[in-house]
Amino acid sequence: MKSVTTYENEKVLVLGLAKSGVSAAKLLHQLGAIVTVNDAKKFEDNPEAQELLELGIRVVTGGHPVELLDEDFSLLVKNPGIPYTNPILEKAMEQGVPIMTEVELSYQVSEAPIIGITGTNGKTTTTTMIGKVLNQGEETPKAYLSGNIGIPASEVCQKVSQKDLLVMELSSFQLLGIDSFHPHIAVITNLYEAHLDYHGTREEYVKAKWRIQQNMTEKDYLVINANQEELRELSKQTKATVIPFCTNGWSEQGAYELGGELFYQQEKIMSVSDLGVVGQHNVENALAAIVVAKLNHTANASIKEALSTFTGVPHRTEYLGMSQGRKFYNDSKATNILATEKALSGFDNTKVILLAGGLDRGNSFEELEPSLAGLKGLVVFGETQDKLITAGHHVQLPFMKKVNTMEEAVQVAVDYSQSGDTILLSPACASWDQYPNFEIRGDRFRQAVEKIMKEMSL
């Protein structure tokens, strides 16, 4: 960790805890700052705040009193999920108090070069792929994962050296709070419309994502998805050296898919069929990882070994195993139509029984119908089950069934399927009608699959 004296005896307010807030508060305390932590959760229900208090850090809990800003803070470090419309943030902006997220703090103290990954879809998978590839061969430095993937960057940055790499997943929320943040390599997986409730407009959302490259120079590398015209146009505005990846033909400078093979410039790296995960979206993710690996001089054999043994991130088209010829995949992270479309693109629909449904946000599923066409079966649950059944009728699916629980959904799918089929959970909906989050929904699916696979093996 770099020796940083910037924060000595400076009054800093950390707004919002969770993992990143706790980590940022501890780091600032270690750097000599006079830290106050403010979190909405009550102190008696707040073990994180209790832990920080024991370390000698001041905590204010049970709400966000605007009066805190009367204390002349020189910096505010915010939890990424707290919107800038929060009264404390609005007052801080009025007073000219700098506001940043903990990834900016992490950059300031990290000795290791940073590889930053952002985008609408595929961030976590691509980040994990990159980490696996970079750590595969002995010829590469140690790569540490951090950021939006669930590992606070302000924690990891303290243990990395100049010989290591800090691989950081970055959300649009985090990128809004950067200033000097400067990755050596940045990856933008794709751009679609998202988080408009936070950013207000698609334009503001894209601006937030594009901030990843704002401090990059011609000595740095910006890796973009050249399948998207929007990113091709944006890339003309950066000072960084642009390296594209695409799935629609040859690319002189970057990585590409051609005839079922993956290349980097003139070199064949591996076949698409050798990837450990399925779906066209995962081909794009793998190409991004290949570019980063080649920029770090990773051997082709190491790249192929890593990507062929990568079986996915939990809840993201995660392969759970096979029993009596049936394969099971957990894609609970598919909380919108686009994600389910991408998941289905990796399979032969005629052999897929899809499990879908969840929170009703008022939309129909007409957009999903082309991807549903040809499915062997559709098992639906949650608030949207009737809408999904209607969509299934529109494309004349041969088998559809409404169920109440995940366990029932898995049993119905297994009973209807046969050897060679795939049972895929890809809900196309948020989980909040039945589950606290998509992770718990995916865990319930995994548990149901493990139970039934055990029964099938008897």
Q: How far apart are CA 195 and CA 132, in angstroms?
A: 29
Give pLDDT tens digits for 30-87. 999 999 999 999 999 999 999 999 999 999 999 999 999 999 999 999 999 899 999 9
pLDDT > 80? residue 402: yes
Question: Is 124 marked as binding a ligand?
Answer: yes
**Can you give the pLDDT at residue 213?**
98
Q: How many CA atoms lie within 13 A of 377 on its CB side?
A: 22
For residue 122, say whether it is annotated as part of any ligand binding site: yes
pTM (whole model) above 0.85:
yes
Which pLDDT tens digit goes with each residue over 239-291?
999 999 999 888 788 999 999 999 999 999 999 999 999 888 999 999 999 99
pLDDT tens-digit profile of 205-242? 999 999 999 999 999 999 999 999 999 999 999 999 99
- Confirm or deny that 405 is annotated as ligand binding: no
Predicted local distance difference test score (pLDDT) of residue 307: 97
Q: How far out from the chain centre does Cα 216 lie?
A: 22
The three-state (H, E, C) secondary structure of 357-404, written as one string: CCCCCCCCCHHHHHHHCCCCEEEECCCCHHHHHHHHHHCCCCCEEECC
Q: Quick one: what percent of the chain has pLDDT higher than 90?
A: 89
Q: What is the mean pLDDT of residues 337-358?
A: 95
Give residue-wise pLDDT tens across range 426-458. Answer: 999 999 999 999 999 999 999 999 999 999 987
CA 10 – CA 73 distance, rounded (Å): 8
Q: Which residues pair with 222 in a beta bridge?
A: 186, 242
What's residue 137's pLDDT? 72
- Reported as a pLDDT band with limits 50, 70 and 90, residue 405 is very high
Residues 6+ apart with CB under 8 A from 225: 119, 188, 189, 190, 231, 244, 245, 246, 284, 288
What distance in Å separates the CA atoms of residue 329 and residue 319, rounded to the nearest whole number? 5
Tens digit of pLDDT for each residue in 295-326?
Answer: 999 999 999 999 999 988 889 899 999 999 99
Counting residues of the chain whose pLDDT is more than 70, the rounded percentage is 99
Q: Which tokens is 247 given?
A: 């799935």
What are the chain's domains? 11-100 (3.40.50.720), 103-308 (3.40.1190.10), 318-452 (3.90.190.20)
Q: What is the pLDDT of residue 18?
A: 87
Work out the pLDDT band at 139, boundaries 50, 70, 90: low
Amino acid identity of 355? L
Average pLDDT of span 336-346: 91
Give pLDDT, residue 38.
97
Q: How buried is 219 (Cβ within 10 angstroms: 0-12 exposed, 13-18 middle, 19+ buried)?
A: exposed
pLDDT score of 351: 98
User: Is residue 373 scored above 90 in pLDDT?
Assistant: yes
**What does the pLDDT average to over 162-180?**
96
- pLDDT of residue 130 exceeding 90, the answer is yes
363 annotated to a ligand binding site: no
Give the residue-averaged pLDDT of 11-15: 98
- Alpha-helical regions (H) of 181-279: 196-199, 202-210, 229-234
Q: What is the pLDDT of residue 250?
A: 81
Residue 140 has pLDDT above 70, yes or no: no
Higher pLDDT, 101 or 141: 101
Average pLDDT over residues 178-199: 93
In 3D, which of 260, 274, 279 has the Cα closest to residue 303? 274
User: Is 140 labelled as part of a ligand binding site?
Assistant: no
**pLDDT tens for each residue of 382-399:** 999 999 999 999 999 999
User: Residue 356 pLDDT > 90, yes or no?
Assistant: yes
C-alpha 306: how far from chain center: 19
> Higher-confidence residue: 316 or 375?
375
pLDDT higher than 80, residue 138: no
